[in-house]
Structure 1
Amino acid sequence: MTVTELFGGRDGFEDRVVPVCGLRIRVRIRTGTGVPLVLCNGIGAGLEVLEPLVAALDPAATIISFDVPGTGGSAASPVPYAIPALACGLNRLLDEIGVGAVDVLGLSWGGSLAQQFALQNPRRCRRLVLVATGTGALMIPGHPRVLSKMLTPKRFTDPDYASAVAGDLYGGAARRGGDDVARVFRKQAHAGSRIGYVHQLLAGAMWTSLPVLPLVRQRTLIVAGSDDPIIPLLNAHILNTLLPHATLLVHPGGHVDIITDPKSLAPAVTSFLSAP
């Protein structure tokens, strides 16, 4: 195991910067028991955005979160990358921190990475949780007016803007006011880079899981909101139909309810991961 510098952290958590394929990747580990859960975040978001979910999950579980290249505290890649290459990088990252078999949860854009990782690493990935995500470039898209707000990372750097657009962008409880979303985004310690955001956009635009979903053998929990403007609910039904061992959980909320109201959804995730 190659361990680089430690920088901070708090009780039960360890923050590391780990070299992966020539890049410095920031990782946060909450040490516990059982099969570790790896969290793959949404586009442009640093790992702090996932803190409400981490706090609501099984307190005894080992949880690993990280910043993809160019987000949070991770260095940006000098060149664009593809989702399969990023899945290889995640595999290398787990090697570097000395972790074996894992469960993987992917939120939104991170669901693409989670699906690809499961496909490429059938022995390492035990179970899969897909939250507010779809099949990539070949999916039912949200309304162009909604998707246009995702072309820049402004919502992560401007709390007033994040609050103003949250209802239209994320749906669910955010329609009653976007302060909760803005508050979660303000948790980020590092803003990330614009080129990193562009690389994520390009990677997502060039990737789809649609032809290979029947090859994903892991038991999978699909969590989808009925009021999700970014990933319409029909995408969850497509995933549920094509994945051989899937269970679909539909809730009445929006795109980011799992981080703005994690207590309503985290128990279902914990139950799925702990089931025999």
Structure 2
Amino acid sequence: MSTPDSGEAASHRLIAALGQQIRVTVRRGEGVPLVLCNGIGAAFEVLDPLVTALDPRTTVVRFDVPGTGGSPDSPLPYGFPYLAAVLGDLLSRLGFTGQVDILGLSWGGALAQQFAFQYPRRCRALILVSTGTGALMVPGRPRILLKMLTPRRFLDHGYAARIAGDLYGGTARHDAARVARLFDRQLMAGSRIGYLHQLLAGSIWTSLFALPLIRQPTLILAGTDDPIIPIANARIMARLLPHPTLHLHPGGHVDLITNARELAPVIDTFRADLEFVDEP
């Protein structure tokens, strides 16, 4: 594996990648880096609880997609193949030219799948959390999906708390204020045009026919109380992927963050097992 220059990366810096300015932060550690792809509209600060709960020796790369958090808007709408190329260029500019593990949460799961398919030699393993196969998937209830059409929950934290239980399920049903506190971590909420670009990218993309071609070991984490991504989607992906590990938990859509202490060890164990397999 190619190793980046020693020393910690500067937090919240902007890096030019294929015509985009991408805000990125890196926690330097050891081993194969873990790259985190966030959900729609969310800045990378929302993932703080997960990063804290992961093995502290793990190198973790986080970034804001164009128009989200501190990354400026893309001048044009984009698709996931282009965004995967942006991510590949970003990693190269950070010095990560070898293999990485890609974790995708919700919308970010589409980007993670696309990267694994598009750059098989650069992706050692795939971790798919609360996600599905894109436009061709088992949808959530319409009244739930309607709440996803605008970024209001990122801008109005009182509104986020009111809808959290119905929208996210799991631990959010019992402590909706936790979701509002989670979004308080966002230093910058991004733009409406950025959110629209993300919606458009997801509306024209599917991995349904490509999943059998993704050869990487894949951990699928899914909550049985997820109103946005019904559990059937995790089972479909597990049937289509050649090397899946399916882990179901009783939580909801964002429990990876709100219940990170319980779910981060599942990720650590999956990745540790890969290290064991890789040893001669």
Q: Normalised by the size of structure 2, how large is the TM-score?
A: 0.93
Match of 1:19 among 9, 16, 19: 16
**1:274 Cα offset (Å):** 1.3
Cα drift, residue 177 of structure 1: 3.1
Contact 1:170 1:256 (8 Å CA) reproduced: yes
Alignment of 1:132-211 (within 5 A): 132-211=130-209
Q: Of 89, 94, 99, which residue of structure 2 is paired with 1:92?
A: 89
Alpha carbon RMSD of aligned pairs, Å? 1.0
Q: Partners of 1:173 and 1:49 in 2: how far apart?
A: 16
AA aligned to 1:32 is: G
Counterpart mapping for 1:91-130 below 5 A: 91-100=88-97, 101-130=99-128
Q: CA deviation at 1:175?
A: 1.1
1:83 counterpart (58, 80, 84): 80
**Per-residue displacement from partner, 1:93-134 (whole Å, max 9, x unpaired)?**
111111021000000000000000000011100011000000
Structure 1 residue runs without a partner (length 5+): 1-10
Q: How far did residue 13 of structure 1 move?
A: 6.6
Tell me which residue corresponds to 1:7.
none
What corresponds to 1:8 in structure 2? none
Query: 1:234-273 to 2 correspondence within 5 Å?
Result: 234-273=232-271
Structure 1 residue 12: Cα displacement = 8.1
- Please give the per-residue CA displacement for 1:140-166, whole angstroms capped at 9, x wherever unaligned: 000000000000001011110000000
Distance in 2 of aligned mates of 1:13 and 1:112: 28
Q: Per-residue deviation at 1:232?
A: 0.1
- AA aligned to 1:111 is G
CA deviation vs aligned residue, 1:203-224 (integer Å, no higher than 9, x gap) = 0000000011000000000000
Give the structure 1 partner of residue 49 of structure 2. Answer: 52
Please report how far the alpha carbon of residue 15 of structure 1 lies from its aligned counterpart in structure 2 after TM superposition.
Answer: 3.1
| Count of equivalent residues | 266
- Percent of residue pairs bearing the same amino acid type: 62
Cα distance in 2 for partners of 1:139, 1:148 equals: 16
Judge conservation of contact 1:26–1:67 (CA < 8 Å) in 2. yes
One-letter amino acid of the counterpart of residue 165, structure 1: I
Query: Which consecutive residues of structure 2, in runs of 5 or more, have no partner in the other structure?
Result: 1-7
Contact 1:136/1:209 (CA < 8 Å) preserved in 2?
yes
Match of 1:61 among 40, 50, 58: 58
Amino acid corresponding to residue 163 of structure 1 in structure 2? A
In 1, Cα distance between equivalents of 2:121 and 2:46: 29
For residues 37 and 16 of structure 1, the distance between their equivalents in structure 2, rounded to whole angstroms, comes to: 18
The Cα shift of 1:173 comes to 1.3
Q: SS at 2:90's partner residue?
A: helix
Q: Residue 14 of structure 1 aligns to a residue in which SS?
A: coil
Amino acid corresponding to residue 222 of structure 2 in structure 1: A
Superposed CA offset, 1:166-189 (max 9, x none): 000000111123100110111001
Which SS does the other structure have where 1:254 is aligned? Answer: coil
Q: For 1:49 and 1:270, locate their aligned partners in 2 and report how far apart those are by CA, in whole Å.
A: 19
Residues 1:72 and 2:69 aligned together: yes
Amino acid at match of 2:262: S
CA–CA distance in 1 between the matches of 2:236 and 2:252?
18
Letter in 1 for 2:67: G
Aligned-partner Cα distance in 2 for 1:69–1:111 = 16
Which residue identity is paired with 1:81? Answer: Y
In the alignment, residue 49 of structure 2 is paired with which amino acid? P
